[in-house]
A and B are shown apart, each in its own frame.
Chain A
Amino acid sequence: MKFKSVFSDSKTMNFFTGAVIILFTLNIFYGIQLNRLIAVSLGLFISSAVLNYLYERNVAKKLRFEIIDKETRMFKNQNDLLRIRISQDGMMPILAGRLTISAGDDIRFQDDISTGVRQHTITAVTFTVMPKSRTLITIPFSGYSRGVSKIVRSELKIPRIFGFGSIDLEQYGKTDHEIIIYPDRHALHNREMENRMMPGGFTERNALFSDPLMTNGTRGYIPEDSMRDIHWKASAKTGELQTRLYDKMTRVSWLILINLRSENSYAPPGNIETIFEKVAFVTGKAAEAGIPYKIITNMVMLNSRSFFSLEKSTGSLHYRRTLETLARTDTVTYTLHFERLLRHVQMHEEIPTHVIFTGVADDPISQSLSVLEAKGAHVFQLDDYGIIPFESTKTGEARR
C-alpha cells in the first residue's frame, strides 16, 4: 500500500507562526524590546515549528504498509484476519496513528463503520510505531457474499507530535491483495450424479485410444503387432501366437455450461446464486471422483472477446480454480445469448461424455442441445430440483 500526503496544516500552528514572524519583524525594524520570558517562549515555539515542519516532511517518507497475505480464500460466513505490517524505517515515531480502510462489500469488517456508505465496508485501527521498528495490525473480517473483495481506499492520520492537528495521507495506486469469497456448496440430493454421471458406465464415442487393461478378445498374430500385445496364455492354448484386442479407452468428462441470462432479459436469473452454489457442489463431487471438467459461461471477456471459461482439468488445484472462477463471475456484465454459447461449443469444443447446463431451455436452446446429444454427449440440466436428464425431444411447454 502506498500513500501520498494530503497536507492539512494546523490552523492554530499557522496562526502562531504568523504572530512570531510579525514580532520578529517588529523587533528587527522598529527595535521593540522583548522581555526575556517572551523571547525564550518564542525561541521554543520556533524550535517547535521547525521540528513540526521536519516531522511533517519526513514522517511518511520511509513508512511502509504491507499486506502480509496477498490472497485470502474463504467461504461465506467464514472469519479471517487482514494482517498489515507497518514498518517505520525513518527516524520519526508515529504515536496513535489511525488507519482507515475501505473494501468491497463482499466481506464485512468486524468493526464496520460504513453507515450509509453503499458497496463498501469500512473500519479504522489505531497504531503506534517507533523509529526503525515495525508493528503488525490485524483486522478481523468475515465473508459476506460470493465475489472478490479488494481494498479500494485507505486513509492515514498521523497526529503531529510537535504541533496540533494531524497529517493526512491517502492511498494511491491499487493493492494487489484480494479476498476471494467462494460460493457455498448447495448439496444436491437426487441420484443422477451417483448413478449416471460417474466413471464406470460410459464409453467415449470419440476415444482415439484403446485401453490396454480392457482385453475383449484375441486374434491371430500378424508381424506388425507389438510383442507386448501378445496374449501368451491364449497362444499356449491354441499353439499359435495370439494378439490381444482391447476396448476403447473409457473416460468420463464433463462440460458445465452456465447461463447467466434469464429467459427473456439480459438480467441474470433470480436463482443465479443458488445455481453457483450447486455448481460448486457438483464440481466438488467431480474433483473427488477425479473427473475432468470444463466450465464455460456466456459472459464475454471484452479484452479477448471470448467466453469466460475454465479449461478442462482435474484435481484439487482445479477445484480451487473452479471456486475462484465462480467467485469472479460477474452477473451484471456483458453476456451473449446462451444459444451463441451452444453454437460455439458445437463448433469449437471437444464433446465430452456429459454436458450439464443451467437455466431454462427454450426451443432454440433445446435444438442446439440435441446436436450435442447426437454427437455422443449425455445432456443434463441443473435446475432447482438438482441434476435431471434433459430430453431434447420434448417441446418447451412439455418440459416446463
Chain B
Amino acid sequence: MDIQEKLGHFKDEMGKVIIGKEKVIELIFVSLLQKGHILFESVPGTGKTMLSKSVARAIGGTFTRIQFTPDILPSDITGLNIYNPKTQEFELRKGPVDTDILLADEINRATPRTQSALLEVMEEKQVTIDGVRIPVDEPFIVLATQNPIESRQGTFDLPEAQMDRFLMKIDLGYPSREEEKLMLDTHGAQNALDGVRPVFSKDEIIELQSRLSSVEVNDAVQEYALDIIHSSRNHEHVDTGVSPRGTIALLQAAKGIALIRGRHYVTPDDIKYIAPFVISHRLVLNIEGMALTEADAVAFDIINSAEVPVEYGVLRDEV
C-alpha cells in the first residue's frame, strides 16, 4: 500500500467537502498515522464540524458525536451502570466514547470537570465505570472543535492535562478569496458529505501506523527537537513548557511528515514545519506572557531561536 497514494485519495475525498485546506488535510493524515487526537480551533463558520465529519467518513469505522453543553455530565461521555428493576441488577450502558472516531463538538462549552471525563480514554484508550475498566476499540481518535472567539460567556478553558493529550491543534482560519469563490459556486449543489467515501479500512490504518517505526531520526535532529522543547520550558513568557509527552508527540509527528514526503528519515525541516502545531497549545503562558503576546507567537519565537543542525551525516538508505 503506497502511503502517498492513500494520502492522494484522502485529499480527494476530503476535497469533496472542504475546499482548499490541503495543508490541514495533510496534518490530519499525519495525526491519523499515530492515532493522535486533534483539536480544531477556529472562529465560527469556518467548517470545523464539517471537516471533522468528513474525516470520520473518510476513515470509515464507527463515528459518534457529542455536542458539549454546560450541563453535560461525565457519564454522558463515558457511559454508566443503570439499574434494571426487573432483574434487580446493574447493566452497563456504554457512552459515546465506544467508537472509532469521536467528534467532541464545541468541547469548551462543557465544564472542566466534564471535559476531564475524556482524560483517561484519550490517553489510555479505556474508561473506568464504577471501578471496572472497559477498553475502547482501536483506533480511538478524538476530533474536537472549539471556538476561540472573544465572547467567552458560557465557555471554559480546557485544562492543561486535556490540552496535552491532543497531538495537534489546528487553526483552520479563513479561506482565501479564490477558495471562497469556489465554495460559493459549489455550495448547495448537493449534500457533499454524503459523497465522501471511506479511504481506509481499520486494518489499513493500523498497517500505516506501523510504518512510523521504520522512520529514522538522526541524533542531531533529535537534539534539535530537544532544544526546542527545553527552550519552551525556559522562555520568559512561559509558565509551563512542553511536557515529555509533547516531546514524543513532536518526534512522532515529524516522522509522519517525513513519511508522507516519501522519506524514511526526519530532517530538521520536518521538525520546524510540524512544531507550531504540536507545541503551541501545550504552552501555558505566565501573566506577563498573557499580557504581551499569544501562545502561537511564543511557539514561533521558540522554534526560530533554536539552532538548526546543518550536518546530518549519511543515512543508510541514501548510500
Q: Residues of B within 8 Å of A, CB-based: how many?
A: 33
Segment of A271-279, A284-292, A333-341, A358-366 in the binding face: A284-292
Residues of chain A with a CB closer than 8 A to B111's CB: 213
8 Å CB contact of B73 from A228, A292, A315, A321? A228
Min Cβ gap A388→B in Å is 23
Encode contact with B along A37-78: 1 for CB under 8 Å, 0 otherwise.
000000000000000000000000000000000000111000
Listed A/B pairs (13) with beta-carbon separation below 8 Å? A73-B292, A75-B292, A209-B70, A213-B111, A228-B75, A235-B85, A236-B88, A236-B90, A311-B151, A313-B151, A314-B152, A316-B294, A320-B292
Q: Are A315 and B157 in contact (CB under 8 A)?
A: yes
**A-side interface size class:** 20 to 34
Q: Are B85 and A288 in contact (CB under 8 A)?
A: no
Min Cβ gap A294→B in Å is 11
Encode contact with A along B188-218: 1 for CB under 8 Å, 0 otherwise.
0000000000000000000000000000000
Q: A232-B82, A236-B83 are in contact. Are A319 and B290 (CB under 8 A)?
A: yes
B263 at the interface (CB under 8 A from A): no
Min Cβ gap A26→B in Å is 65
8 Å CB contact of A316 from B76, B114, B285? B285
Bound complex: CA A319 to CA B286 (Å): 12
Q: A228-B73, A228-B75, A318-B152 are in contact. Are A287 and B287 (CB under 8 A)?
A: yes
Residues of chain A with a CB closer than 8 A to B74's CB: 213
Q: Are B291 and A313 in contact (CB under 8 A)?
A: no
Min Cβ gap A70→B in Å is 14
Min Cβ gap A242→B in Å is 10
Q: Are A292 and B157 in contact (CB under 8 A)?
A: no
Q: A213-B113, A313-B151, A313-B153 are in contact. Are A232 and B90 (CB under 8 A)?
A: yes
Q: Are B83 and A320 in contact (CB under 8 A)?
A: no
Q: A: which residues have CB within 8 A of B?
A: 73-75, 182, 185, 209-210, 212-213, 228, 230, 232-233, 235-236, 239, 241, 284, 287-288, 290, 292, 311-321, 323
8 Å CB contact of A315 from B81, B88, B90, B152? B152
Q: Among B82, B113, B291, which residue has the most Cβ atoms of chain A within 10 A? A: B291
Residues of chain B with a CB closer than 8 A to A290's CB: 156-157
B178 at the interface (CB under 8 A from A): no
Chain A residue nearest in CB terms to B89:
A236
8 Å CB contact of A317 from B70, B73, B85, B150? B150
Min Cβ gap A131→B in Å is 31
Q: Are A228 and B76 in contact (CB under 8 A)?
A: yes
Chain A residue nearest in CB terms to B72:
A212
Q: Are B83 and A232 in contact (CB under 8 A)?
A: yes
Chain A residue nearest in CB terms to B289:
A316
Residues of chain A with a CB closer than 8 A to B294's CB: 316-317
Residues of chain A with a CB closer than 8 A to B260's CB: none
Q: Are A73 and B73 in contact (CB under 8 A)?
A: no
Chain A residue nearest in CB terms to B74:
A213
8 Å CB contact of A232 from B80, B287, B290? B80
Chain B residue nearest in CB terms to A242:
B83
Q: Are A212 and B71 in contact (CB under 8 A)?
A: yes
Q: Which 7 A-B pairs have the closest CB atoms?
A: A316-B290, A236-B83, A232-B83, A313-B152, A284-B287, A235-B83, A212-B71
Q: A228-B76, A232-B82, A315-B157 are in contact. Are A320 and B71 (CB under 8 A)?
A: no
Residues of chain B with a CB closer than 8 A to A235's CB: 83, 85
Encode contact with A along B280-319: 1 for CB under 8 Å, 0 otherwise.
0000010111111110000000000000000000000000
Q: Are B153 and A209 in contact (CB under 8 A)?
A: no
Bound complex: CA A111 to CA B285 (Å): 33
